[in-house]
A = this chain, B = another copy of it.
Amino acid sequence: MPSLSLRINLDPDGRIGPGKIELLEQIAAFGSISAGARQMKMSYKHAWGLVEDMNRVFGKPVVATSHGGKRGGGAELTPVGLAVVSRFRAIERAAAAAAEPHISALQADIEAA
């Protein structure tokens, strides 16, 4: 069954897609940027670059980091980061549901051609 892959183009040159969203979800799940990066099979440096890119695009931090303490610091999503993830997933679901009849119609067109 065909699926949609969706990116949001934000002014002026920011793009948010499934990769950045999954990175945020992994950071939230593991409480650390480096663990999130490892789950995504990317370097810490690359993951940090993606986080910084999102901070710039949204004008506010999406991840909050803490240093020291018993567990040697960590990272969690800010309210902005949480909103970005949940709204993006909602946008995906809404878009997929709206597209579904058109995708079925396309498949029927192709079979009939």
Contacts and interface: CB of A to CB of B under 8 A. Distances in A.
A6 B6 contact: yes
B83 A113 contact: yes
Q: Which applies to chain A's interface (DSSP): helix, strand, loop or mixed? A: helix
A42 interface: no
A113 B5 contact: no
A99 interface: yes
Highest count of chain B CB atoms <10 Å: which of A5, A102, A105, A109: A102
A106 interface: yes
Interface stretch (A30-38, A43-51, A66-74, A90-98): A90-98
Contact of A91 (B1, B8, B94, B103): B103
A11 B107 CA distance: 12
A96 B92 CA distance: 10
A59 B102 contact: no
A35 to B, nearest CB: 25
